[in-house]
Structure 1
């Protein structure tokens, strides 16, 4: 799996620089003591945790943490999938469908393994398509659970900021005769709104967009594998399997065909690793 570390590092540097600029603007405008208001922190973060723990199961929250991590560090490798399905097509053409049983046993990716099992069971292409499309729908629903968690955070964080503001104003009115309490409650009121907006717009929404993009990449991968497996089931050529999967990529990411049509039956492109 090839990861563009240079591009990632440049992006990280830009993000860090922008965060430092924003942080400097906060520090120069607001004292650190006022910015780190414990009342505002308690209202916002306790409220967010209560909301998501009540709304989602622990399994969903655990999957959300895993998926968020994967969206930052895991690259979807379409190239390996195209090569693997292409060599599977060449093997079926050369040795028949029953020859892929050994590859099924060692395949680690669950979607590709399930698709190979369906192919090996001699099911009709339309039956394979129907089953795999339903599998993709179920996988997409599971992948989008993390998106819905952050979507909820983006909705509740500003509302909790408003609640913190109201609590601060109530405290201010209740302590009009104590100047110190007036200042403390005013800070809590304003900082709560700030926290809610920052969490929603600088954390929840960007992660939502990133997860949505990551889900889209996975769905494209599943669709490519489905297309390749269906072509094999229809006894299409290995070259057509490669080309029709390849054309689903962006133009700049498409691969050059590595073999020649003349020696297709004797060429095995990708070795399945044990």
Structure 2
């Protein structure tokens, strides 16, 4: 069965589930926006707009964080962190596509041998999948393949963890920089005790710096650490699914066992339907879909 047709079949079955996820995402966004407005309104109800947005305090916090990041990490890691944060919001790890891709490879290898999928290597865009298919074509012993794939996954795990380390650094230094801003404001206050206007300016800068540091650490850095950890876990699960599937193909196991082994690694509600079982529900699939025999 053609991989695109298999995926189309599964899309019909999981269309309702995907719509439910989108609905939950919209609800989550609305709730988050509402809570942020509540927090913002509470702060403005206590602190005036002029005091809340203090330029000197922002300069100390933002410049201090940037200096710490640039000194602590290579520029490449910082840029990758920004890219990975963006990906964690925009990209979805497609387990479905991965499972059906490996399943189709298992069928092709069973029919025509491992070298028959060699042409897939140059067409594959995903690096880990491409490396796994290359090993399938080049290696005869599954034990050697497993060692290399485990080392590859471990290296990727360490690489994914670097972005979390960047955000952990932000969470650690932000409160400290807030205290530095407070000290700078107090020093300015003590130097201008005879000028009431300057006293109020420096007092506002001193107090708001600590607030900025705490907000950045707890409302930005810590949530992003959790999001990067979740994104990393999803990626690692996908890598392990690919590894298990490729090793079973190398051991000449059945395509059904390849599919089921990867499928049970998903949460129960996310598990896919085996392609041949989908044929029993062909009447529920939109008209015009053509079925091929495996």
TM-score between the two structures when normalised by the length of structure 1:
0.92
Deviation at 1:7, TM superposition (A): 2.4
Are 1:90 and 1:267, in contact at CA under 8 Å, matched by a contact in 2? no
Q: Tell me which residue corresponds to 1:272.
A: none
- Write the distance in 1 (CA, Å) between the matches of 2:272 and 2:95: 10
Extract unaligned runs of 5+ from structure 2.
1-10, 12-17, 278-291
Q: State whether structure 2 residue 31 is matched by structure 1 residue 14.
A: yes
Alpha-carbon displacement from aligned partner over 1:173-231 (angstroms, at most 9, x marks no partner)? 12111111111111111100000000000000000100000000000000000000000
Q: For residues 34 and 259 of structure 1, what CA distance do their matches in structure 2 show? A: 66
> Is residue 139 of structure 2 the alignment partner of residue 115 of structure 1?
no
Tell me which residue corresponds to 1:89: 106
The answer as to whether partners of 1:44 and 1:195 remain within 8 angstroms in 2 is yes
Task: Give the root-mean-square deviation of aligned CA atoms.
Answer: 1.5
Aligned residue among 260, 267, 279 for 1:250: 267
Matches of 1:76 and 1:50, distance apart in 2: 34
* Aligned mate of 1:59, from 76, 83, 96: 76
Match of 1:263 in 2: none
Look up the match of 2:253: 236
* Pair 1:205-2:245 in alignment: no
Pairing of 1:72-221 with structure 2 (within 5 A): 72-221=89-238
Distance 2:58 2:164 in 1: 24
TM-superposed deviation, 1:98? 1.2
Any unmatched runs of 5+ in structure 1?
261-265, 269-274
Q: Is the 8 A contact 2:139 2:145 kept in 1?
A: no
Q: In structure 2, the residue corresponding to 1:108 is in which secondary structure?
A: coil
Instruction: Give the number of aligned pairs.
Output: 263
Deviation at 1:267, TM superposition (A): 4.9
Look up the match of 1:71.
88
